[in-house]
Amino acid sequence: MAAAIGIDLGTTHCAMAAVRSGDRPEVLWNREGDLLTPSVVVFQGPGRILVGKTAKHATKDLPGDCVESVKRHLDDPGWSFADSHGGTHSAVEITALILRRLAEDATETLGHRVADAVIAVPAYFDDAGRDATGRAAELAGLNVLRLVDEPAAAGIAFSTSGSGSLLVYDLGGGTFDVTVMNVEGADPRVMATSGDRDLGGLDFDERLMRHVAAEVRKQTGPDLFDGGRRQAELREKCEQARHALSRAFQTRVFFGGGDRSHTVEVSRERFERMTKGLLERTAVGTEEVLGEAGLAWAQIDRILLVGGSTRMPMVRRMIERRFGSMPDTSVNPDEAVALGAALLAAQGANRRRGPAAVTPPSAVRSAGREKPRTGTEAHRRRPRAVRRRDGELH
């Protein structure tokens, strides 16, 4: 019986996992039968709140009451969201709604109440972001066993086999993290890490949105950046188009309604040209971290791709060109962080129960100290890497 869960509290999607039997973690289904839960909240009115997939489907109809990507504001105590019903909600309160939903879904899937969790946070989060995450979990009724850096959790998920130096390249929906670790006996130790809070799949979507909107205007179509339903629909369609371009060389974005319909064709080559600068930012951040770790690409034994945005072919080509070989794709990039957090959660639960162990110590003892570290790097657009001199994971 799983006594605790691991949570990947993502900017655009969340995942939860648990060690249910034996020593292998597994991602848990939510109430809709999906493994990923959108990080979206819609306030329909007092006491009427949608979270997850139903909220995402309602964004086009209720754009003024929809909150997405709240994680980008979690370390800002002055940020708040005002809905159209007179309510004001802090980032901590909105995050608590998402965490509560995850805990409820995990309880339903596992068949017993879940109260304990290990939550993964960006490596660049400072005290404010970590403290805010802890307060959100408390509001959600969760006891946080510990907070773990997302790259560290991913490294734990991958570290059950092999040793040596590894680089975790984590490009998610809203944030980018890169970390260099050294693994000895399946025990990852951080050498250097860096992150960019304003770089993720959302930003690639934004470039595509501007291109599509300009093309529609050329067709004498409406302004799609209206701040309302059209813009919400534009974002949804461009996100779908980006995903399609990871599988195909060309796709179409279609807008109907009114007297005319509008179709914009987008090729993978064109998309990659318009987002080249964003990809280069990840490359620069990666080079900085390698420099802080004192390593060259040739000294890295494995590259681990984490985050759904790493499915874009240009990401893998860039890594292969610099690394000289294929990255490790043995773990689903959407699930790696949650799986690693689940291993840590199992360890924490076992400590409470006594000496009987479920999780292999080699897979989890790298959790390191729990005290949040300080730093100002989270407030920079492209922060420089910060060496972890003690080599411990948070």
- Considering the candidates 65, 75, 83, 170, report the single residue annotated as catalytic: 170
Band of residue 45 on the pLDDT scale cut at 50, 70, 90: confident
Task: Give the angle subtended at the CA of 10 by the CAs of 8 and 11, to the nearest 5°.
Answer: 170
In this structure, the answer to whether residues 47 and 112 fall within a common structural domain is yes
In this structure, the answer to whether residues 33 and 123 fall within a common structural domain is yes
In this structure, the answer to whether residues 152 and 242 fall within a common structural domain is no
pLDDT at 185: 57
Is residue 121 within 8 Å of residue 75, measured between CB atoms? Answer: no
310 within some domain: no
- The pLDDT tens digits for 268-303 are 999 999 999 999 999 999 999 999 999 999 999 989
In this structure, the answer to whether residues 65 and 156 fall within a common structural domain is yes
pLDDT at 325: 83
Average pLDDT value over all residues in the chain: 85
A 10 A CB-CB count for 332 gives: 15
Mean pLDDT of all residues in 256-279:
90
Band of residue 260 on the pLDDT scale cut at 50, 70, 90: confident
Judge whether 370 counts as a catalytic residue.
Answer: no
Task: Give the angle subtended at the CA of 172 by the CAs of 169 and 175, to the nearest 5°.
Answer: 90
324 within some domain: no
What residues make up the domain containing 223? 201-267
- The pLDDT tens digits for 321-363 are 988 888 888 889 999 999 999 999 998 876 665 543 333 323 3
In this structure, the answer to whether residues 38 and 124 fall within a common structural domain is yes
pLDDT at 372: 29
CATH code, 233: 3.90.640.10
Domain final residue, candidates 267, 287, 307: 267
157 within some domain: yes
CA-to-CA distance for 266 and 52, rounded, in angstroms?
Answer: 29
pLDDT at 257: 63
Residue 376 scores a pLDDT above 90: no
pLDDT at 287: 93
Mean pLDDT of all residues in 30-59:
93
Domain final residue, candidates 250, 267, 284: 267
In this structure, the answer to whether residues 38 and 159 fall within a common structural domain is yes
pLDDT at 367: 33
- The pLDDT tens digits for 13-27 are 999 999 987 778 999
pLDDT at 382: 35
173 within some domain: no
Residue 374 scores a pLDDT above 60: no
In this structure, the answer to whether residues 62 and 138 fall within a common structural domain is yes
- The pLDDT tens digits for 165-186 are 889 999 999 889 899 988 775 5
Judge whether 150 counts as a catalytic residue.
Answer: yes
Residue 5 scores a pLDDT above 70: yes
pLDDT at 227: 78
- The pLDDT tens digits for 218-242 are 988 888 888 788 898 999 999 999 9
- Considering the candidates 75, 150, 196, 334, report the single residue annotated as catalytic: 150
- Considering the candidates 8, 65, 68, 177, report the single residue annotated as catalytic: 8
Band of residue 160 on the pLDDT scale cut at 50, 70, 90: low
Domain final residue, candidates 235, 267, 299: 267
Residue 156 scores a pLDDT above 60: yes
143 within some domain: yes
- Considering the candidates 56, 65, 68, 71, report the single residue annotated as catalytic: 71
In this structure, the answer to whether residues 221 and 158 fall within a common structural domain is no
CA-to-CA distance for 53 and 51, rounded, in angstroms?
Answer: 7
Band of residue 78 on the pLDDT scale cut at 50, 70, 90: very high
What is the percent of the chain where pLDDT is above 70? 86
358 within some domain: yes
- Number of domains the chain is built from: 2
In this structure, the answer to whether residues 152 and 207 fall within a common structural domain is no
- The pLDDT tens digits for 82-116 are 999 999 999 999 999 999 999 999 999 999 999 99
In this structure, the answer to whether residues 147 and 219 fall within a common structural domain is no
326 within some domain: no
**Structure tokens that stand for 246 in this block:** 């990871």
CATH code, 89: 3.30.420.40
152 within some domain: yes
